[in-house]
Structure 1
Amino acid sequence: MSLFDSFVNTTSGKIEKNAHFFALYDRYLARYRNHPCVLYIVIDSAHAEAQAEMWARYLGAFAQIVCLTEHDFDRPQIHGRRSDLTDPSFRMRLLEEFGPADIVIDDGTHLPDITISTFEILMDLMTNTGLYFIEDTYTAYWSSYQGEVGRDSTVIGYTKALIDELHASYTSHAIPPNAFSARVCGIHIYDGLIIYEFGRNTNHRSMTNLATS
């Protein structure tokens, strides 16, 4: 089953998703399907349960879907928690109840300060091989979402700076290594979608084969 199949077969509520996102999710999440995994979704209350149903249907029976939203709910495999991510005790309860996130999908913040602070908080709840998705990043160019071309404070401007941080070990300490460069091994940027790939990137050696000319 593709994510699009799951999308069209979800009938519990309205879901809005950019059409080109489906193939991207299929590409990146194939390894999680029908395997134990934990997905945290940052989502508004109106769309939380339908989105959770879609993702549970897609990822399979071994996945736990946790919506960080405005109300609590529990159904088999699907959970909602009224979230205050700034509260360390709430984050600890998430870890105790569900464990670290293999996947995070932010489909609910959209405003730059909230999007960025949510990422910086939730990255501490990620596994060391997880994937963090931020949807609808084109809002970084819209004034109605505090966006503007070239503005450093948007999620696009923030991610441009993180590309430098990703390469901190090559900068002769001009960019000090930090938690991001220690934990994130890749940034994938698509039309309207950013994916941060977690992984340890410690082997920076250059290698040469033994072939002779």
Structure 2
Amino acid sequence: MGFFSDYIPRSGDKLLTKWAHYFEIYERELTRFRARPVTFMEIGVFRGGSLPMWKEFFAPGSTLVFIDIDPDCKAHEIEGTHVEIGSQGDPAFLASLADRYGPFDVILDDGSHLCPHQIASFEALWPHLTDRGVYMVEDCHSSYWPGFGGGYRNEASFIEYSKRLIDRMHSWYTDQDALFPFDDMARHLNSVRFYDSIVVCEKLDKQQPPTSLAIRNGKVEPSRKALTLRNRSSVFANKDGR
């Protein structure tokens, strides 16, 4: 686990609670952000154990913001960090943080785990994520708990919301305009990655629609024809016995 396998044995007296497999995910998703100072926000402070960990993980000079609804969490603030008190379900509070500290390179939601809060926070903060930044929501198994606003295949859960993000990302290619119209999220969402209990959304501001390249003998011919076709069918139709 690189950094985390070194850090955990020498962590301090502030309690840090994470599922064991999260640290490998952090290593995979966040290592590229260590090379320079970044702006990082974590939703959820609890006992304060993550503050010193993230302070050491990210480069010196990084802006590290932590939010929690519990006023007692302000006491966990350490040098080089900012602890702000407010609800992740309050768009006005989140907007004030974005104005003060944003834009953010990394946002990590380890807050209430309530599906309505996870969705509200994502929608409020996604516009304030930098190009190539990542938005991570952890403990997404709460999407399968009715008491957290979830439940299996509950459309109101964050997992189901995230699945719909995949559709929105692919709406460039729609062939059913009335049923599945183009969604502007396609211009900003580069990938949605699902891990056990963690969803990672990567941002990429795309100035132009996707381009198909036909390449032969070193010659490249770009085209966007596939984005405008309707009622298309496979060129392999009736060639496989069906």
The corresponding residue for 1:51 is 50
Residue 51 of structure 2 contacts residue 78 of structure 2 at CA under 8 Å; is this kept in 1? no
Equivalent in 176, 181, 199 of residue 186 of structure 2: 181
State yes or no: 1:192 paired with 2:192.
no
Determine what percentage of the aligned residue pairs are the same residue. 24
Q: In the alignment, does 2:164 pair up with 1:161? A: yes
Shift of the 143–99 alpha-carbon distance from structure 1 to 2, 3 Å rule, reads closer
Alignment of 1:20-99 (within 5 A): 20-44=21-45, 46-47=46-47, 49-70=48-69, 71=71, 72=74, 74-84=77-87, 86-88=90-92, 90-99=93-102
Q: Which has the higher contact order (CA 8 A, sep 6+)?
A: 1
Q: Which structure 1 residue ranges, 4+ long, deviate > 6 Å from structure 2?
A: none
Q: How many residues get paired? A: 209
Deviation at 1:192, TM superposition (A): 0.7
The one-letter code of the counterpart of 1:150 is R
Unpaired segments ≥5 residues, structure 2: 219-242
Report deviation, 1:183.
Answer: 1.5
Letter of the 1:209 counterpart:
I
Seen in structure 2, the aligned counterparts of structure 1 residues 4 and 64 have a Cα distance that, compared at 3 Å, is farther
Instruction: Give the Å deviation of 1:28.
Output: 1.3
Q: Distance in 1 between matches of 2:51 and 2:65?
A: 8
- Kindly provide the CA deviation profile for residues 152-197 of structure 1, in whole angstroms up to 9, marking residues without a partner as x: 1111111111111111111143433444222111100011110000
Matched, 1:103 2:76: no
Aligned counterparts of 1:102 and 1:198: Cα–Cα separation in 2: 10
Cα separation, 2, equivalents of 1:77 and 1:118: 24
Judge which range, 68-77 or 104-113, deviates more. Answer: 68-77
- The alignment's TM-score, normalised by the length of structure 2, stands at 0.78
Report the equivalent of 2:3.
2
Of residues 143, 146, 150 in structure 2, which corresponds to 1:143? 146
1:92 Cα deviation after fit: 4.8
Higher Rg of the two aligned structures: 2
Q: Check the 8 A contact 2:150/2:158 in 1, yes or no.
A: no
State the 1:62 CA deviation.
2.7
CA contact 2:91–2:124 (8 Å) conserved in 1: no
Deviations 1:15-57 (A, max 9, x none): 111111111111111111141101100004x33x321111111
CA RMSD, aligned part only?
Answer: 2.2
Q: Which runs of 5+ in 1 are unaligned?
A: none
Q: Hey, what's the Cα distance between the residues in 2 that align with 1:42 and 1:84?
A: 9
Q: What is the TM-score when the length of structure 1 is the normalising length?
A: 0.87
